[in-house]
């Protein structure tokens, strides 16, 4: 069952990844390349060079979960990231658009009202 939701933080790895890597290999990338803890509960997203395979690594209570999708046609449209870092944080909605193959041209996200804006600064 797909147990990911908008409550998690998603980190997209900006380099092509060897899709033969399993749990241990991807954990090594997260730790060595991204400087993050694989057991943090964050979701790490990896795409191969041809952009037709995607893996998501996530720690849940009791162990790692690895989501894997291979496209039979076309490629994943990757999020735009700055060339400075090896990773970028992406939103749940951006991940879902990428996985489902939905392309939005001339995308502009409008400002939204959040309850956190009303809370006094501490």
| Residue 31 within a domain | yes
Prediction pTM value: 0.79
| Residue 1 within a domain | no
Can you give the pLDDT at residue 122?
46
| Residue 32 within a domain | yes
| Residue 34 within a domain | yes
| Residue 5 within a domain | no
Q: Is the pLDDT assigned to residue 116 strictly greater than 70? A: no
pLDDT of 4-46, one tens digit each?
888 899 999 988 999 999 999 999 999 999 999 999 999 999 9
Domain boundaries, position 59: 10-104
| Residue 2 within a domain | no
| Residue 45 within a domain | yes
pLDDT of 41-100, one tens digit each?
999 999 999 999 999 999 998 899 999 999 888 888 887 766 677 888 888 888 888 888
Number of separate domains in the chain: 1
DSSP-derived secondary structure for 60-75? ETTEEEEEEEE-SSS-
């Amino acid at each position: 069952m797909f147990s990911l939701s908008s409550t998690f933080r998603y980190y997209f790895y900006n380099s092509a990844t060897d899709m033969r890597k399993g749990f241990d290999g991807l954990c090594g990338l997260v730790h060595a390349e991204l400087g993050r803890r694989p057991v943090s509960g964050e979701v790490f997203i990896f795409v191969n060079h041809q952009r037709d395979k995607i893996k998501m690594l996530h720690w849940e209570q009791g162990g790692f979960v690895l989501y894997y999708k291979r496209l039979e046609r076309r490629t994943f449209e990757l999020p735009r990231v700055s060339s400075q870092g090896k990773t970028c944080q992406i939103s749940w909605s951006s991940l879902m658009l990428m996985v489902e193959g939905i392309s939005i041209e001339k995308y502009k996200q409008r400002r939204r009202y959040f309850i956190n804006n009303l809370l006094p600064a501490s």
